[in-house]
Amino acid sequence: MSAPGSSAADVAADVAAKVERFVRETVFSYERDPRFEVHGHGPSDTLVAELRAKAREAGVLTPHVRADGSHFSQRDTATILKKSGLSPLGPVAVNTMAPDEGNMYLLAKMGSEEQKAHFLEPLVAGRARSAFFMSEPADEGGAGSDPSMMKTRCRRDGDDWIIDGRKAFITGAQGASVGIVMARSDDGACLFLIDLPNPAVRVERLLDTIDSSMPGGHAVVAIDQLRVPQHHMLGASGEGFRYAQVRLSPARLSHCMRWFGSATRAQEIATAYACRREAFGKPLIDHEGVGFMLAENLIDLRQAELMIDWCADTLDGGSLGLEESSITKVAVSEALMRVADRCVQVMGGTGVSGDSVVEQIFREIRAFRIYDGPTEVHKWSIAKRIKRSHLATLS
């Protein structure tokens, strides 16, 4: 326990230590549980409930949210979430997983008191899961990396709104109790809070994706004549993009935090393997081709950690951090991909088999290079800002 008068950073460090202990001592043992990757679509709800019950008992459930409902700073959140990510199941167990973590942040910042009581409290308590309904089917020309292409429409009907459209790659929609739906009105983008399940929101199919750590998988969803009361809209009609931006940068950054933990775990496993496995008369790590890969991994991990802290400090300073979070998302996702790839390579056949969690970590981090914006889209956005900044110096 932190001593009286401890700084926020000290408190966060104590919380992170408890989270790490729980993940290592309890969660690691579940990584081979058959309920972890149910048909490749993430851990089952029974496994989630079991893990969260143990996290609650250990005092580490939803550790990034204080007892009074306030969130730690982004820098302190990073301290905690990196430890939760040491296992692909860690964020699920302690309730720091996407999309719930980002949705909790958005609701805490922008929700009304009534909305917080109805939608946020069950999420923080770990009794409910959520989904963020934004992306749409690419073959229909819907919104993806460019949310301005939104096809899902909403219209006012008395004191309610009616929403129609199709969504794709919706993480956690299967089994979610809380939904945040983005749709377009005549005024622009809107965000709505909905209770699930709802007969007007139908999961058409679960996609088979390379990753498999998120409960509910990733779904294609049809929304047909969904009726939502006005008081369940976040903000006002046309303010959806502005509200979504509150969630955007922290959600990108928390992905970096969690997967940093996973890459750190992969490095631990690959290092132990290289130190005990011998070939050509000596441990693998004593062969430069292997030792140098592990050294390069450590360099990438330390640089990624610095990038996370830099972006966190920017957000804690009050900035939306759109450019900084793009830069960090690109740098960290690419660095962690290199780390995971080298770990697989160091471990050879063992690295590509299910005998080690390194294989899954590799798959999860590969998906990270696309989730919350592909590397190329972020680079394009950064280049646009570079151009605008240059032109501004000429005027």
Q: What confidence score (pLDDT) does residue 197 get?
A: 97
Pick from 238, 261, 294: which residue ends a domain? 238
Residue 119 belongs to some domain of the structure: no
Cα–Cα distance, 293 to 290 (Å, whole number): 5
Pick from 238, 269, 303: which residue ends a domain? 238
**Domain CATH code at residue 175:** 2.40.110.10
Identify any residues that bridge with 180 across adjacent strands, giving them in sequence order.
132, 193
Q: What confidence score (pLDDT) does residue 146 get?
A: 85
Pick from 238, 272, 301: which residue ends a domain? 238
Q: What confidence score (pLDDT) does residue 144 get?
A: 84
Residue 3 belongs to some domain of the structure: no
The verdict on 135 and 222 lying in the same domain is yes
Residue 155 belongs to some domain of the structure: yes
Residue 114 belongs to some domain of the structure: no
| Low-confidence stretches of the chain (pLDDT beneath 50) | none
The verdict on 198 and 320 lying in the same domain is no
The verdict on 250 and 368 lying in the same domain is yes
3-state secondary structure the chain: CCCCCCCHHHHHHHHHHHHHHHHHHHHHHHCCCCCCCHHHCCCCHHHHHHHHHHHHHHCCCCCCECCCCCECCHHHHHHHHHHHCCCCCHHHHHCCCCCHHHHHHHHHHHCCHHHHHHHHHHHHCCCCCEEEECCCCHHHCCCCCCHHHCCCEEEEECCEEEEEEEEEEEECCCCCCEEEEEEEECCEEEEEEEECCECCEEEEEECCCCCCCCCCCEEEEEEEEEEEEHHHEECCCCCHHHHHHHHHHHHHHHHHHHHHHHHHHHHHHHHHHHHHCEECCEEHHHCHHHHHHHHHHHHHHHHHHHHHHHHHHHHHCCCCCHHHHHHHHHHHHHHHHHHHHHHHHHHHHHHHCCCCCHHHHHHHHHHHCCCCCCHHHHHHHHHHHHHHHHHHHHC
Q: How many CB atoms lie within 10 A of CB 39?
A: 10
The verdict on 234 and 284 lying in the same domain is no
**Domain CATH code at residue 374:** 1.20.140.10
The verdict on 182 and 88 lying in the same domain is no
The verdict on 25 and 169 lying in the same domain is no
Q: What confidence score (pLDDT) does residue 3 get?
A: 60
Sequence-ordered list of residues with C-beta below 8 angstroms from that of 89, at least 6 positions apart, any chain: 27, 30, 31, 36, 43, 51, 213
**Cis (ω within 30 of 0) for the bond into 88?**
no
Q: What confidence score (pLDDT) does residue 363 get?
A: 96
Which sign does the torsion angle of CA 87, 93, 95, 99 carry? positive
Q: What confidence score (pLDDT) does residue 6 get?
A: 75
Residue 369 belongs to some domain of the structure: yes
User: What tokens does 179 get?
Assistant: 């939904």
Could you tell me the residue range of the domain that residue 207 belongs to? 130-238
Q: What confidence score (pLDDT) does residue 128 get?
A: 97
The verdict on 36 and 67 lying in the same domain is yes
Residue 359 belongs to some domain of the structure: yes
